[in-house]
Amino acid sequence: MTTTPAVTRTEPLKAKSRPGDRWFSGAALFAGSMILVTLAAVAIFLIVQSLPALFATNADASILPADFWSYVGPLVFGTVWAAALALIMAVPLSIGVALFISHYAPRRLAQALGYIVDLLAAVPSVVFGLWGIGVLAPAVQPVYSWLVDNAGWFPLFAGPVSSTGRTIFTAAIVLAVMVTPIITAICREIFLQTPNLHEEAALALGSTRWEMVRMAVFPFARSGIVSASMLGLGRALGETMAVAMVLSVSGGVTFALLTPDNPNTIAANIALSFPEAYGLNVNVLIATGLVLFVVTFAVNALARYIVSRRKEFSGAN
């Protein structure tokens, strides 16, 4: 009679370590760490280069009116104001376009239409800048003069009207055109993820298509729409060339949309001033870039937070 020897193994089974494996996993780990290093480097270099500017005065850097904060304040205002205007236009439009593609367009057309909207996202910003100056600004200028003449009592439309049409409102329109495809793409994905059973249940209860959208799609997609808008906001805050080309700048803080006196944005100001900057002025501009980085970082982090919270609670994924 033979007994099978009992296999006794103290340490767990381990694969043989091959040089190929070690090299490959090492390379992957290195590449992953490079991301950490890069981002840390971005933060460190920006901070190091901008430290001298934070306490500079007009005597050190000719670009400053008095000190750094009085210089960056109006720029922050212009950045946020232009991006907010763009978002007010872009979000409803994007939700409409996304709804059209996901729930209203004929099924066969829907994917092609999605591609067309994605193409809009691929157009380089400098082309939008050219288009803004060459086509959009002259086209909207008559509307601006009409608005100033007939609705000038309203603070936003106060005169005098810009004769070129290159106002903050035109820049906001260009920004809206640029962020619309981004917001649309995310909204479309989320609308398509709505559980089919919810939609069919709503339709089976006799609701019209709009009532179905309102009762089944929107509650499901609300946080997704918010985070898509935040991502669009992040893009609008950092957009440079379109604003630099379209906006005719005077600086300062004003809410009037249609006048020739417009606040500048951080990104556009860097693009316009950097090529001729020297000495401490360069550090001042880098410091404004750091401010922009912090602002967009905060906006994006908030958007990601909303997305991750949605993943946990909605049960969609």
Taking the least distance from each CB to another protein, the nearer of 23 and 154 is 23
Question: What's the closest the beta carbon of residue 66 comes to another protein, in angstroms?
Answer: 23
- Measured CA to CA, the distance from residue 36 to residue 202 in angstroms comes to 47
Residue 180 near residue 90, CB atoms below 8 Å: yes
Nearer to another protein, 95 or 148 (CB): 95
Residue placing its CB nearer to another protein in the complex, 6 or 36: 36
Concatenated DSSP letters of 232-292: HHHHHHH--HHHHHHPPP--S----SSSS-----HHHHHHHHGGG--THHHHHHHHHHHHH
Q: Name the token pair of 242.
A: 């379109």
Q: Which is nearer to another protein, 125 or 229 (CB)?
A: 125
Residue number with CB closer to another protein (30 or 154): 30
66 token code pair: 């008095």
CB of 264 to another protein, least distance (A): 13
Cα–Cα–Cα angle for 198, 102, 310, rounded to 5 degrees: 55
To the nearest whole angstrom, how small is the minimum distance from the Cβ of residue 35 to another protein? 5
The closest alpha carbon to 229, from 101, 93, 87, 125, belongs to: 87
Least distance (Å) from another protein to the CB of residue 251?
A: 18
Q: Quick one: CA dihedral 145, 146, 147, 150, positive or negative?
A: positive
Rounded to whole angstroms, the Cα distance separating 186 from 188 reads 5
In the three-class reduction of DSSP (H, G, I as helix; E, B as strand; rest coil), residue 67 is classed as strand
**113 versus 158: smaller Cβ distance to another protein:** 113
- Minimal distance, residue 147 CB to another protein, in Å: 14
> In angstroms, what is the minimal distance from the CB of 6 to another protein?
26
Q: Which helix (H) or strand (E) holds 114?
A: helix 107-122
Of 27 and 156, the one with the shorter C-beta distance to another protein is 27
CB of 185 to another protein, least distance (A): 12
